[in-house]
Structure 1
Amino acid sequence: MGVETEYGIAVPGRPLVDPVLLSGRVVQRYAAGGHGRVHRTRWDYAGESPLEDARGFSVSRALAHESQLTDEWADDPRVANVVLTNGARLYVDHAHPEYSAPEVTSPREVLVWDRAGEVVMAEAARVGSSDLPDEPPVEIYKNNTDGKGASYGTHENYLVARATPFERLVDQITPFFVARQILCGAGRVGLGQNSETPGYQISSRADFFEARVGLETTFRRPIVNTRDEPHAHASRYRRLHVIIGDANLSEVSALLKVGTTSLVLALIESGRMSEDLSLVDPVGALKAISHDPDLTTTVELVDGRRLAGLQLLRRYEEHVHAHLRAELGGDPLALADDDTREVLTRWDAVLTALETGAPEAARWVEWVAKRQVLEGFRARDGLGWDDPRLLLVDLQWSHGTPGKGLARRLEARGRLERLTTEEEIDRAVDHAPPTTRAWFRGECVRRHPDAVVAASWQSILLDRGDGGPLQRIATPEPLKGTRALTEALLDRHPDVEGLLTELTAGGAAGP
């Protein structure tokens, strides 16, 4: 699994600045800033297929929207695109700087390498401002909307067995995605894409979704995205590209976002989801639940039942427990691995806190914590939900400069529970997770910065330095290229020539 986040970017007092050029500047300055993290390694677009649809067809390039042609961006001189030594990708996506965290195998690892991205982005903004001393500093925000009609994404990716019928996956995951925002919504001032209606809602992204299923990501946004671009063995795997989540600053919300989704996907893969929770109007239900932070709204199921969002989440929780009991042969809270037990325990605790109105909900759930802060301003100054000062508080919540963001300040005071440590994050800024192929990718960039010409999720392009052709090392299996499998190999060969010779011996072309 992994998370990729587009950051909001602005220069105070400069509303007409070109966001693409600005985003490119901060990425380029970071890459050239002497951090020892990127050197000249660029992104390798070979093998990308953004127009393949999981429903069994491809969209014609002639008919595709330009935003979908992501494999052509390499020719745009404004689009900086580099690979970091922690295995991540730092680049310009449309009009935003984006940090795509490396692949990991647990929700805890997602938290660590996602927060490493916050450090990277804050430093990129700082160095992007440093050579313009007479200009206001560049500011970045870990959010998903500017409050004026624009939305940008935080996307999740999950490795799913291709043998799982895609139609079943869509049918059974859709109601979960509709209700999941209750656990991991980031909260937002204003209702409607343009914040045209005063109020507060659970999700920052819900109002921007217009379809149940589809290939698009920047328009006609679907609840379930159908891009079939596995970045792995296509015959074995599917990458479920999830575009409906919010950028999270609450670590408990972030943990539950990916942890519960992973468990629900395992349930669906198993074929043990025995209850049909299909909704009559998923898009309408998504918005109705988001617009009701009191959590009383019910939505209609195709079988005629009406359930609240909390009830939908309880149904999924019960089915996950039943699946794990069958899989493990007993109580999952006793027999499951530590990561699974943590997600199950927190899933139940958060739902219980929300059901009972317990104060702990504000320490765990981001939209609840943000609402509490906003209600404090409203009570103190007598503000209505249409007061623009509340929009400023909402924006300040996600400010990426250390010491300025409200969410991180609350965390420092213990009002948002923290699960990671500074030491973990500092290491993750420079080092890749050891449990996936990201480790091999990151270590190649670290150890052989002048030889790694380009890299992607599924390959590394190396230059032997002898003037001969470049050598592509394939990494199609996400659970190979780990530290355990490749550290000794890299240690044996401090030179690229020796590394390539062993890797390609006997016709092999990857670690």
Structure 2
Amino acid sequence: MGRFMGTETEYGISTPTQPGLSPIITSTHAVVAYAAMNTGARSRWDYEEESPLKDTRGFDLRRYHTVPVVEPDAVGVANVVTSNGARFYVDHAHPEYSSPEVSNAYDALVYDAAGDLIMRKAVADVAELTAQGLSILKHHDPCPPLKIYKNNVDGKGASYGAHENYQYSRKTDFAVLTQALIPFFVSRNVIIGAGRLGIGETGERAGFQISQRADYFHQEISLETTLNRGIVNTRDEPHANAVHFRRLHTIVGDANMSHTSTFLKLGMTKLVIDAIEDGVDFSDLRLVDPVAEIKHVSHDLSLTHQLQLRDGRALNALDILRLYRERVVAVDDVDERVIALWGKVLDLLADDPLSTSHLLDWTAKWALIKGYLDRGVDIADPKLQLIDLQYADIDPAKSLYHALVRKGRMETIASEEEIARAAEVPPADSRAWFRGAVSARFPDDVIAASWQTMILKHSGGTARFQTTEVDKLTREHVGEIIDSSATTDELIAALTALDFAPDHYVTHHNKSHINKPHQH
């Protein structure tokens, strides 16, 4: 089994023609319009397996003891399972794309980038409905034109997340994992930072920094994701077989446009977790004050800041990342590619950070802004803030990132064709194949779904499938069955014959009695 991983991106959203319109409403428009115009699926999210307040340190701050029932198009919590096996939904005041589970960093890059295409399609779907004078939401006017940004700050003190998820063994000592990862997370921003104008949470000081998120972390370890954020998040919600696995829910990274930044963010982290689980010792890299250092690293564009280690040494972020790289071991071709690119980027950054402006987000953005500064524009000029924002625009016609790609000034890794396919087709080697393929083939019969479950309607009632094993229900396992089934009755019968039987099979006469708790 590979180390399954995935990303969650909360996108920035605005309505320039009506800036006062609630982003909760506009995000709901985006999700529901996409569902209506593309999938036809109106499935609920199955919250029964969700436990976002369960802490790896051994406690659970559960807010409720009964499973909530939430309609798929409800304002503020609209939800759809896309044909590629992802989840597209409203999270707080943002449209969020949670990518399907994949087994390697390259696929994780491709499916992360596919989220931008799904967002662009949602924007177009809203515009099409509005042009017809239609609103997809009852009791609401048609939605004005939407702008979507893959960034992490609103310029007013709020930050929204770009989370990573990595499956790891429950046998792994969490304290060892945490202490090994903290210096890595503090240092890796010099590679994966998205760049930001403004210093401090509200941008109270003029200036440019490497990371969009660094100023928003106040603790080494925390369960919180919106306040009092920790460099390591302690959520114990495996979305898998909880006897064997945990999920490292990583909130300390930026949302990236750059393929190189995304690929290395996921690939380097995977390799470091591999090394930790193989018993590699990183205890000599512990920092005196990680919370302070993550800000110092982000604020130092020269990359010369010396981080203070507990053993008395002082090393810069590049030095620390080199030590991590020396201790990891490739187990496949993707790992080898990550290690090679990791070394190349470190060498370029050490020579001149701006020599990576064709590879990394923060240096690409800084090169654009520095060009104006060199011509006498003040760092606090609003037009530079516009550059900061336009870089992350997902609309290729407006995005400065996409303009750099078109001009050959930004390298990509995955092809446009690969990304377009990933926006439609689920990964073949994980349970996401089952989730995405069934949602696409039988959209009207999917009552509810989650990472670990799928509830299907059939002629006699409903069937609830557990999809706890991440490497099961793949294309190899069930692809032919799904393609050849004309109805969910045929699908369920074929899956049952292959020992993929549902854990609840509810017939029509007792459907209301048994199935009600599972209709989320």
**CA separation of 1:359/1:94 partners in 2, compared to 1, >3 Å: closer, same or farther?**
closer
Match of 2:332 in 1: 337
**Higher mean C-alpha deviation, range 12-21 or range 277-286:** 12-21
Among 420, 423, 442, the alignment partner of 2:414 is 420
**Alpha-carbon contact 2:180-2:282 (below 8 Å) kept:** no
Match of 2:279 in 1: 271
- 1:368 is aligned to 2:363: yes
- 1:477 is aligned to 2:472: no
Match of 2:459 in 1: 465
Distance 1:298 1:38 in 2: 54
**Alpha-carbon contact 2:354-2:364 (below 8 Å) kept:** no
How do 1:223-372 and structure 2 match up within 5 A?
A: 223-320=231-328, 324=329, 336-357=331-352, 360-372=355-367
**CA separation of 1:273/1:494 partners in 2, compared to 1, >3 Å: closer, same or farther?**
farther
**Alpha-carbon contact 2:302-2:353 (below 8 Å) kept:** no
- Give the Å deviation of 1:503: 2.8
- 1:185 is aligned to 2:186: no
**CA separation of 1:275/1:226 partners in 2, compared to 1, >3 Å: closer, same or farther?**
closer
Aligned amino acid, residue 293 of structure 2: A
Match of 1:66 in 2: none
**Alpha-carbon contact 1:8-1:140 (below 8 Å) kept:** yes
Distance 2:16 2:477 in 1: 48
- Give the Å deviation of 1:314: 0.8
Distance 1:439 1:315 in 2: 37
**Higher mean C-alpha deviation, range 274-283 or range 177-186:** 274-283
Deviation string, structure 1 residues 105-124 (Cα, Å, up to 9, x no partner): 11111121111110110121
Match of 1:16 in 2: 20
Distance 1:30 1:496 in 2: 24
Match of 2:120 in 1: 122
**Which secondary structure state, in structure 2, belongs to the residue aligned with residue 108 of structure 1?**
helix
**Alpha-carbon contact 2:163-2:249 (below 8 Å) kept:** yes
Match of 2:395 in 1: 401
Distance 2:458 2:466 in 1: 16
**CA separation of 1:31/1:318 partners in 2, compared to 1, >3 Å: closer, same or farther?**
same
**Alpha-carbon contact 1:289-1:297 (below 8 Å) kept:** yes
Structure 2 runs not aligned, ≥5 long: 134-142, 504-520
**Which secondary structure state, in structure 2, belongs to the residue aligned with residue 430 of structure 1?**
coil
Aligned amino acid, residue 173 of structure 1: L
Distance 1:16 1:73 in 2: 30
Distance 1:57 1:297 in 2: 38
Deviation string, structure 1 residues 309-360 (Cα, Å, up to 9, x no partner): 111101111111xxx2xxxxxxx5xxx4210110000000000000111764
Among 35, 38, 47, the alignment partner of 1:31 is 35
**Which secondary structure state, in structure 1, belongs to the residue aligned with residue 49 of structure 2?**
coil
Deviation string, structure 1 residues 363-395 (Cα, Å, up to 9, x no partner): 112101110010112223x12222221111100
Distance 2:223 2:188 in 1: 21
**Alpha-carbon contact 1:187-1:370 (below 8 Å) kept:** yes
**Alpha-carbon contact 2:196-2:208 (below 8 Å) kept:** yes
**CA separation of 1:125/1:509 partners in 2, compared to 1, >3 Å: closer, same or farther?**
same
C-alpha RMSD over aligned residues: 2.0
- Give the Å deviation of 1:15: 2.6
- Give the Å deviation of 1:498: 2.4
Aligned amino acid, residue 488 of structure 1: E
Distance 1:412 1:166 in 2: 44
Distance 1:507 1:483 in 2: 16
Distance 2:282 2:66 in 1: 38
- Give the Å deviation of 1:71: 7.3
- 1:156 is aligned to 2:164: yes
**Alpha-carbon contact 1:49-1:71 (below 8 Å) kept:** no
- Give the Å deviation of 1:128: 1.9
- Give the Å deviation of 1:141: 0.4
4+ residue runs over 4 A deviation:
69-73, 133-136, 505-508
**Alpha-carbon contact 1:73-1:79 (below 8 Å) kept:** no
Distance 2:248 2:129 in 1: 40
**CA separation of 1:73/1:6 partners in 2, compared to 1, >3 Å: closer, same or farther?**
farther
- Give the Å deviation of 1:97: 0.3
Distance 2:49 2:210 in 1: 38
Aligned amino acid, residue 500 of structure 1: I
**Alpha-carbon contact 1:145-1:152 (below 8 Å) kept:** yes
**Which secondary structure state, in structure 2, belongs to the residue aligned with residue 228 of structure 1?**
coil
**Alpha-carbon contact 2:179-2:283 (below 8 Å) kept:** no
- Give the Å deviation of 1:272: 1.6
Among 40, 43, 46, the alignment partner of 2:42 is 40
Match of 2:443 in 1: 449
Distance 1:351 1:20 in 2: 41
**CA separation of 1:275/1:79 partners in 2, compared to 1, >3 Å: closer, same or farther?**
closer
**Alpha-carbon contact 1:87-1:439 (below 8 Å) kept:** yes
Distance 2:500 2:111 in 1: 31
Match of 2:506 in 1: none
**Alpha-carbon contact 1:451-1:465 (below 8 Å) kept:** no
Match of 1:387 in 2: 381
**Which secondary structure state, in structure 2, belongs to the residue aligned with residue 230 of structure 1?**
coil
**Alpha-carbon contact 2:180-2:283 (below 8 Å) kept:** no
Distance 2:274 2:479 in 1: 31
- Give the Å deviation of 1:428: 1.2
- Give the Å deviation of 1:130: 3.3
**Alpha-carbon contact 2:77-2:89 (below 8 Å) kept:** yes
Match of 1:65 in 2: none
Distance 1:154 1:84 in 2: 19
Match of 1:329 in 2: none
Structure 1 runs not aligned, ≥5 long: 63-68, 325-331
**Which secondary structure state, in structure 2, belongs to the residue aligned with residue 204 of structure 1?**
coil
Deviation string, structure 1 residues 236-263 (Cα, Å, up to 9, x no partner): 1100000011010110011000000000
- Give the Å deviation of 1:219: 0.7
Task: Report the identity percentage.
Answer: 46
**Which secondary structure state, in structure 2, belongs to the residue aligned with residue 74 of structure 1?**
coil
Match of 2:9 in 1: 5
Match of 1:51 in 2: 53
- Give the Å deviation of 1:153: 0.4
Distance 2:367 2:200 in 1: 21
Match of 1:327 in 2: none
Aligned amino acid, residue 139 of structure 1: K
**Alpha-carbon contact 1:86-1:438 (below 8 Å) kept:** yes
**Higher mean C-alpha deviation, range 448-457 or range 271-280:** 271-280
Aligned amino acid, residue 405 of structure 1: S
**Which secondary structure state, in structure 2, belongs to the residue aligned with residue 59 of structure 1?**
coil
**Which secondary structure state, in structure 1, belongs to the residue aligned with residue 19 of structure 2?**
coil
**Alpha-carbon contact 1:38-1:84 (below 8 Å) kept:** no
**Alpha-carbon contact 2:76-2:91 (below 8 Å) kept:** no
